[in-house]
Amino acid sequence: MHLVTAEEMRALDRYVIEQIGLPAAVLMENAARAVAEAAMELGAEWYGEANGGGGKPAGGSRLAAGGGSARSGCGGYGAASGRPLRWLVLAGKGNNGGDGIAAARHLLEMGAEASILYAEPPERLTGDAALQRDAAARLGIPAAVYAPGAVDWRSFDGVIDALLGTGSRGAPREPYASLIREANASGLPILAADIPSGLDADTGAVHEPCIRAARTVALAFMKRGLALYPGAEYAGAVTAAPIGIPARLADAHGVRVFRLDEAAVCSRLGVDPARPRRADTHKGTYGLVLVAAGSPRMAGAGLLCVRAALRAGCGLAAWALPASLAAAVTGRAPEAMLAPLEDGGRGDWSAVAPEALKAELAGTDALVLGPGLGRFAGDAAWLRRVWDAACGAAGGTGAGRAVPLVLDADALNMLADADDFAAWPRRPADSPAVLTPHPGEMARLVRTSTAEVQRDRIGIARDYATRRGVVLVLKGAATVTALPDGTVYVNTTGNPGMATGGSGDVLAGVIGSLLAQGMPPGTAAAFGVWLHGAAGDRAAAARPSQASLLAGDIIEYL
Ligand SMILES: NC(=O)C1=CN([C@@H]2O[C@H](COP(=O)(O)OP(=O)(O)OC[C@H]3O[C@@H](n4cnc5c(N)ncnc54)[C@H](O)[C@@H]3O)[C@@H](O)[C@H]2O)[C@H](O)CC1
Ligand SMILES: [K+]
């Protein structure tokens, strides 16, 4: 599923109208029908099949979770009454309003009741929205103009938010702002047309106020802001409805940002998540991962990383660590090999020669460097020498072979301190390094604040990936994976229970494992992110709460 910006959507819209020759009114009609159908489904979910008129079975838990004045206001109706649901369409003066007004007409046809509440005097509507206004009036659809405090929300069962769409700029102005606040306070289930009003369609930032929708029906394509937080939370359950703009037009227009769900894993990444194995294979078939990780204070990071790598399917995993640490972890990961590196008795990486790690690279199929590594004097220069070796640069692995590489955690902090990363040897085009920063590490890499990173996660990740020629995995809710060619995947799996120590070490191990199994870096990173989140979701479901999830639990569900 493509994720588009408001500007890209406008360009596609224009193209279909001007070049393909479909009148805008046809798109609006299709959009309106999709909005009305989604409203019927939402009604069925909240109030039961008899009222919704079709679609999904009644969701008792949603009713319970819905709470608020609407439920008490609707007491006596609900599934038992069997009467049509009453929808209130909040209409803005642009085409988003036009979609909503036309949806009111479709709702009547589907057997529901609908009224229209104009945010502004309806005379201000123009073009296709004005056409819809007039048709609705001639059909006798009740309509009123919003006056603060005058709406009797209890006379309705649900709300359609068609106030602001992709044409909105900045925080909703009055009277939109007051109307949004009243709608949110009504406790009624809200269906957002295209995007919740108040959401920044491009970044997922939410203005004050912003509609809190139970459900959003995205028209033609999902807007980026519906997949990014906090927007994704305000949008509720999101679906995309076809309105006459085929997906291949988005490809042709250069849209390269995708929502990463299971369908996209299969279709876009070309990966079968179950990946059955061929019978005539052995551990050598599935590659050897070298994990360089762990220090006295963070030995567990290495343990988690190496175990995750093994669970993600590599044939062999070796754990390179300071020799003085080896005794403490021996036997903790019996399936892994240990590669103790001479550390002058210090127990950390400060005295481990890069050449010692380089020697271990021979014969490995991927290197994961960084989890729990710690920092030490001169570590940026140390990293540079390991980088050169893994690049296959002169004096590297000997064979001149590039070893697939994941840099995580402290390796990223070292990289951030290296002023000349741009001048480091380039890796082969088919083997870019995978970097897995969390927002704080990303901020250090690009010398900005974490808040700035979070404000434009796709932009920051994509810019870094294309400029530096790396695969950039920007972790966090809706992890963003950006490839050197500008392709971006926004992940849909995972849960806040995974915000716990060691979770990132597990991800680094998973990606390293997939690299060792021969997956191209962009695919390994995006699929690894999805897999890690999916395992986290299963692990959380098996626990009494998300809060009790441990990073080690994620490994067990890979
Ligand atoms: N996807 C498609 O191809 C189609 C989309 N449709 C729908 O059209 C909207 C976009 O419509 P547009 O007229 O461009 O803009 P809006 O309706 O979002 O509103 C613009 C309207 O609002 C005023 N405005 C802007 N910012 C603010 C603000 N912060 N506060 C208050 N008012 C604001 C501005 O002056 C304009 O008048 C898209 O989302 C779809 O729902 C088509 O119907 C079908 C094709
Ligand atoms: K809207």
Name the phi and psi angles at 402, rounded to 5: -80, 135
Q: Where are the alpha helices (DSSP H) in 392-434?
A: 410-417
What pLDDT is recorded for position 416? 97
CA 165 to centroid of ligand 1, rounded, Å: 4
The answer to whether 176 is annotated as binding is: yes
Query: Would residue 253 count as lying in a domain?
Result: no
CA 141 to centroid of ligand 1, rounded, Å: 22
The protein residue with its alpha carbon nearest to ligand 1, atom 36, reads: 94
Rounded Cα distance between 471 and 525, Å, is 7
Query: Would residue 132 count as lying in a domain?
Result: yes
Helix axes 24-47, 95-109, angle to 10 degrees: 60
Q: Which atom of ligand 1 is nearest to the CA of 30?
A: 44
Q: Judge if 549 and 410 occupy the same domain.
A: yes
The answer to whether 491 is annotated as binding is: no
The protein residue with its alpha carbon nearest to ligand 1, atom 34, reads: 168
Ligand nearest to the backbone CA of 178:
1
Cβ(166)–Cβ(195) below 8 Å: yes
What pLDDT is recorded for position 50? 59
Q: How confident is the model at residue 356 (pLDDT cuts 50, 70, 90)?
A: very high
Q: Which atom of ligand 1 is nearest to the CA of 16?
A: 3
Q: Judge if 104 and 190 occupy the same domain.
A: yes
Note the Cα 484 to chain centre separation in Å: 19
Over residues 166-196, the pLDDT tens digits come to: 999 999 999 999 999 999 999 999 999 999 9
Q: Judge if 214 and 75 occupy the same domain.
A: yes
Rounded Cα distance between 163 and 165, Å, is 7
Over residues 122-135, the pLDDT tens digits come to: 999 999 999 999 99
Q: Which atom of ligand 1 is nearest to the CA of 12?
A: 3
The answer to whether 476 is annotated as binding is: yes
Ligand nearest to the backbone CA of 103:
1
Residue 550 has pLDDT above 90, yes or no: yes
Report how many domains make up the chain. 2
The answer to whether 55 is annotated as binding is: no
Residue 75 has pLDDT above 70, yes or no: no
Q: Judge if 242 and 292 occupy the same domain.
A: no
Provide the 3-class DSSP secondary structure of residue 536.
helix
Q: Judge if 234 and 289 occupy the same domain.
A: no
In the listed set 184, 219, 246, which residue is the last one of a domain according to the structure?
246
Q: Which sign, positive or negative, has the C-alpha torsion 92, 97, 103, 108?
A: positive
In the listed set 222, 246, 270, which residue is the last one of a domain according to the structure?
246
Which two three-digit tokens encode residue 217? 């029906």
Q: Is the ipTM of this complex over 0.85?
A: yes
Q: Which atom of ligand 1 is nearest to the CA of 170?
A: 29
**Angle subtended at Cα 354 by Cα 349 and Cα 358, rounded to the nearest 5 degrees:** 125
Residue 336's CATH number: 3.40.1190.20
Q: Judge if 341 and 485 occupy the same domain.
A: yes
Closest CA to 369 of 331, 409, 336: 409
Rounded Cα distance between 375 and 441, Å, is 14
Query: Would residue 266 count as lying in a domain?
Result: no
Query: Would residue 504 count as lying in a domain?
Result: yes
Q: Judge if 297 and 237 occupy the same domain.
A: no
Rounded Cα distance between 104 and 477, Å, is 35
The mean pLDDT of 263-279, rounded to a whole number, is 94
Q: Judge if 228 and 365 occupy the same domain.
A: no
Ligand nearest to the backbone CA of 234:
2
Q: Which atom of ligand 1 is nearest to the CA of 195?
A: 39
What pLDDT is recorded for position 78? 44
The mean pLDDT of 287-306, rounded to a whole number, is 95
In the listed set 197, 227, 246, which residue is the last one of a domain according to the structure?
246
CA 263 to centroid of ligand 2, rounded, Å: 27
Query: Would residue 316 count as lying in a domain?
Result: yes
Using a CB cutoff of 5 Å, list residues around ligand 2, an ion. 161, 192-193, 197
| Arithmetic mean of pLDDT over the chain | 92
Over residues 506-526, the pLDDT tens digits come to: 999 999 999 999 999 999 999
Containing structural domain, residue 292? 283-556
Query: Would residue 127 count as lying in a domain?
Result: yes
Q: Judge if 179 and 49 occupy the same domain.
A: yes
DSSP-derived secondary structure for 108-173: HHTT-EEEEEESS-GGG--HHHHHHHHHHHHTT--EEE--TT---GGG-SEEEEES--TT--SSPP
Q: How confident is the model at residue 392 (pLDDT cuts 50, 70, 90)?
A: confident
Provide the 3-class DSSP secondary structure of residue 282.
coil
- Strands 471-474 and 480-482, bridge-based pairing: antiparallel
Query: Would residue 254 count as lying in a domain?
Result: no
Q: Judge if 240 and 327 occupy the same domain.
A: no
For residues 305, 308, 310, 314, the Cα torsion angle rounded to the nearest 10 degrees is: -90
Query: Would residue 259 count as lying in a domain?
Result: no
Name the phi and psi angles at 461, rounded to 5: -65, -45
Closest CA to 352 of 366, 335, 331, 369: 369
- Strands 222-223 and 3-4, bridge-based pairing: parallel
Q: Judge if 206 and 290 occupy the same domain.
A: no
Rounded Cα distance between 214 and 191, Å, is 6
Q: Judge if 328 and 225 occupy the same domain.
A: no
Residue 145's CATH number: 3.40.50.10260
The protein residue with its alpha carbon nearest to ligand 1, atom 40, reads: 96
What pLDDT is recorded for position 80? 44
Rounded Cα distance between 228 and 144, Å, is 35
- Amino acid (one-letter) located at 442: M
Residue 51 has pLDDT above 80, yes or no: no
- Residues having CB closer than 6 A to ligand 1 are 9, 13, 27-28, 31, 92-99, 164-173, 176, 193-194, 219-220
The protein residue with its alpha carbon nearest to ligand 1, atom 41, reads: 96
The residue whose CB lies within 8 Å of the most ligand 1 atoms, and thus the one to mutate among 9, 95, 238, is 95
The protein residue with its alpha carbon nearest to ligand 1, atom 23, reads: 168
Note the Cα 20 to chain centre separation in Å: 32
Over residues 7-34, the pLDDT tens digits come to: 999 999 999 999 999 999 999 999 999 9
How many of the other CB atoms lie within 10 Å of CB of 124?
15
Residue 479 has pLDDT above 70, yes or no: yes
| Residue 409 region by backbone torsions, left for phi larger than 0, else alpha for psi between -120 and 50, else beta | left
What is the widest separation between alpha-carbon atoms in the chain?
A: 88
